[in-house]
Structure 1
Amino acid sequence: MSTQKALLNVAISDAFPCSYLSDQQEQLLLLIDPQLNGRHFYPTLLANGFRRNGDQLYRPHCRLCQECQSLRTPVQQFKASRSQKRLNNKNKKFRVQISTNTSTQYFSLYQNYINKIHKDGPMFPASVEQYDDFINSTWNEPLFIEIYDQEKLISVSVTDQVKSKKNQSWSAFYCFYDPTYQHYSLGKFAILSQLKLAKKLGIDWLYLGYYIEKCQKMNYKTGFMPHQRFIGEQWFDFN
């Protein structure tokens, strides 16, 4: 870990059942007082494998498992695969736009997504309080990348903007979409849309959260090439 990160106050959570691997217990390394330190140290922490959840910044700190690997894509070097090009072509009728403000439409879309797609997960059932605690932050102002089918909002990608002296990054925080459009692979299309917008805006990195090889819900992220994975306190290239 970097010297800057080592100077921060952190805590280790109690162990609890892992949300991704049923045979594992999970523990988290948590930043103390993120409301005071989050904004300033977010770039450093993100580059050291941390993620955001509401105000909190955390990363896995499990004694017996190292499966979670932070994954990021160098935006300007990204090249869509044949299947990704086909998906872009399939969804070319949809309109993509960036908003800097949240919308009253978001919660109903989020609620429908959680209650139908992730009803076996820890965020079910969705509630306004749970949504606010998860998505919103007192120290961070995300972008909202919206996808429309004509005038109908069908997907929202909450995307954090992270600027440092060295580079500008986006962190793909969370995506939720209309379950009736599931056959359009909107989760993957949302990432492709973020990459396209980020490239136009000169963004250096798009962080995609954690890759977990043994978890089917998480290992699709390796399809965005090239990319780097954070393993043993270092970033490694995958081409």
Structure 2
Amino acid sequence: MAEPILIAGDLLDELLSKGFYRMQQNMFTTSITFANNEYMEVFWLRTILPSLTDIYSHKIYKLNKGFKVSISPAAITAQMDELYEIYFKHIDFDASDTIYNYLHAGEHILQFDSYKIEVWDGETLIAVGFFDKGNKAVTGILNFYHPEYKKYSLGKYLMLLKMQFAISCQMDYYYTGYLSPDYPKFDYKVFPDPDLIEVFIPELNVWVPYRDWKDNLNSTQL
């Protein structure tokens, strides 16, 4: 069996900067996806962190200030499995049926420097997020939460917590996955500030401001 390859530090930073992303035990990139029974173009995103200075004042951060948060090296617990099972029954999109299958399905050739975020309401686990850490960037991998707490926008709260962790480590970027001009469900990924989002243009191997990309996209559709 092949020796595992650690995808972390500068190597993860480099792959992310080229539009690669983790799926289970693989690093991949693509410019298309299949959703709503059709193929659609997608574009990779990242948030510029040094300019993101007001996380603690964000209304979602304030909304959730009564909850307890912990961040630690990634592990899957029985409480997480129970929460994911509840979450899985309420989602209306395709996803792995367990946390393990979401993170680890396939041969364990690649390893990552992964962390978990847990959000607790008293003794009740209400939200969990996983992310991978490089030297200058983190990338969000999975978020899930209890449907009864939907009004707290816990998915976005987990994004803020991941960004705050990265900022505390003096990192430059948070990679949030991709969006598609043809699939509005992905638009939440420009949260919390579209002005700090960059979009990867693989043909040119460059990142451009989201606003410029959006304006150019709109002009070509006229």
> Which TM-score applies when normalising by structure 1?
0.71
Note if 1:69 corresponds to 2:43.
yes
How far did 1:38 drift? 4.4
Distance of 1:181 and 1:135 partners within structure 2? 32
What is residue 73 of structure 2 aligned with on the other side? Answer: 100
User: 2:61 aligned to 82, 88, 95, which one?
Assistant: 88
Equivalent pair of 2:43/2:180 in contact (CA under 8 Å) = yes
Q: Which runs of 5+ in 1 are unaligned?
A: 1-32
Going from structure 1 to structure 2, the CA distance change for 1:220 and 1:234 (only over 3 Å counts) comes to: same
What is residue 228 of structure 1 aligned with on the other side? Answer: 198
Distance of 1:183 and 1:111 partners within structure 2? 20
Q: Matched residue of 1:148: which SS? A: strand
Going from structure 1 to structure 2, the CA distance change for 1:67 and 1:195 (only over 3 Å counts) comes to: same
Going from structure 1 to structure 2, the CA distance change for 1:190 and 1:129 (only over 3 Å counts) comes to: closer
Equivalent pair of 1:76/1:204 in contact (CA under 8 Å) = yes
How far did 1:186 drift? 0.7
Q: Matched residue of 1:76: which SS? A: coil
- Structure 1 stretches of 4+ moved >2 Å: 33-43, 61-67, 121-124, 127-138
How far did 1:62 drift? 4.1
Distance of 2:172 and 2:100 partners within structure 1? 34
- Count how many residue pairs are aligned between Structure 1 and Structure 2: 198
How far did 1:76 drift? 1.7
Going from structure 1 to structure 2, the CA distance change for 1:177 and 1:67 (only over 3 Å counts) comes to: same
Distance of 2:168 and 2:98 partners within structure 1? 35
User: 1:171 aligned to 121, 124, 139, which one?
Assistant: 139
Identity %: 26
User: 1:147 aligned to 111, 119, 126, which one?
Assistant: 119
What is residue 172 of structure 2 aligned with on the other side? Answer: 204
Q: Which runs of 5+ in 2 are unaligned?
A: 212-222
What is residue 18 of structure 1 aligned with on the other side? Answer: none
User: 2:157 aligned to 180, 183, 189, which one?
Assistant: 189
User: 2:128 aligned to 156, 161, 180, which one?
Assistant: 156
How far did 1:151 drift? 2.4
Counterparts of 1:131-142 in structure 2, within 5 Å, are 131=102, 133-134=104-105, 138-142=110-114
What is residue 30 of structure 2 aligned with on the other side? Answer: 60
> Which TM-score applies when normalising by structure 2?
0.76
How far did 1:197 drift? 2.4
1:180 alignment partner AA: E
Equivalent pair of 1:34/1:55 in contact (CA under 8 Å) = no
Equivalent pair of 1:80/1:224 in contact (CA under 8 Å) = no
1:91 alignment partner AA: N
Distance of 1:73 and 1:132 partners within structure 2? 23
How far did 1:148 drift? 1.2
Distance of 1:218 and 1:100 partners within structure 2? 28
